[in-house]
Amino acid sequence: MVTSNDRDARLPGSGTDRAASRARIDALQADGVCIPYPEHVFIEAGASVASGTILLPGTHLRGHTSIGNDCRIGPDCWIEDSSVEAGCTVWYSVLESARVRSGARVGPFAHLRPGADIGADARVGNFVEVKASTLGRGTKAGHLAYIGDARIGEHVNIGAGAVTCNYDGQDKHTTTIEDGAFVGTNASLVAPVRIGENAVIAAGSAITEDVPAGAKAFGRSRQVNKPRENRPGESKEDA
């Protein structure tokens, strides 16, 4: 049989930390925060959670973290010194000194590093990392992207595998993407660079120069198809 002591032992920190966390959880539940499995949640004294929010198992709220009302946090989130505004969903993700504005959705498996500022109703999805960057309202980075030292406007689409190449080996540089732009799959934006409003970046492009508003940029070599030659010892029937 699993005892309450066994459950408490799974929580991080000293026994005093665990007791303080449980007291904080009890107070939050009394204030209208839903914590269905309190033995699997850890909340430090500096963290605040507004009423109507749900904290699911594996949620860790560390440092000076604030969670707005009507959010859904977890399962399995580490949120430290970060702000999550009302109506957000954050699940299976790590947030460090980040801000998530109202109605945004983060996760699963996203990493918001210091300086990440996710706009209202934006989306940061599977295996997306954001560092020292702002994403405007309604912008989407659905999966497998790195966004570092970037200023991204509203309703921008960041395709899978897109990267802002912010570091030249010595200094960090800024990428600017204006409202309504579309960045295709596996595009590399070599900073410093500016992508204009409603511009389109073709999939697989390496962009090293500014792209004007409304333009389409192709930064890749042209595909060439040639007849295949048989390998040594291979007949045409084997090919």
CB atoms within 10 A of CB 13: 12
Is the omega angle on the peptide bond into residue 192 within 30 degrees of 0, that is, cis? yes
Contact 32, 49 (CB under 8 A): no
Contact 38, 21 (CB under 8 A): no
Write the single-letter amino acid at 22.
R
Active site residue 64: no
Using the structure block, give the residue that is written with the tokens 């309703």.
155
Catalytic residue among 40, 111, 143, 173: 143
Catalytically active residues are: 143
